[in-house]
Amino acid sequence: MIIDCKHVWDYISDYLDDSLLPETRDMVQRHLESCEICSAILDSTRNILILTADDRVFELPTGFSDRLHARLAREICADPDGKRRPPQT
């Protein structure tokens, strides 16, 4: 079965996650092998996701992790039995 580009675009996300059914994946694969446009869309989408997942994009401020743990420890010490208190604002 032959599918057109627009249908391939619908499958790109699941193709990247390798969650397509085998026959669908093969069909998409065959299209990608012969279609430069769709394989460029696949590559660009994959690259954008790699960039997005890179820790340097959403870097935590220096010392954030230490401050978070210190704050959590303080909260837990102040309320060791986990009873409900009014939320702090």
Look at residue 77 and give its three-state secondary structure.
helix
CA distance 16 to 11: 9
Cβ closest to another protein, residue 22 vs residue 82: 82
Least distance in angstroms from the C-beta of 57 to another protein: 5
| DSSP H/E element including 37 | helix 36-53
- Binding another protein (rule: CB under 8 A), the pick from 26, 40, 69, 73 is 40
CB of 63 vs another protein, minimal distance in Å: 19
Alpha carbon distance 56, 17 (integer Å): 22
Q: How many residues sit close enough to another protein to count as binding (CB under 8 A)?
A: 36
* Residue in this structure with the two tokens 């690259």, named with its chain if needed: 47
Task: Report the greatest alpha carbon distance in the chain.
Answer: 65
Q: Given the rule CB under 8 A, which residues bind another protein?
A: 6, 9-10, 12-14, 16-17, 19, 36-37, 40-41, 43-45, 47-54, 56-58, 72, 75, 79, 82, 84-88
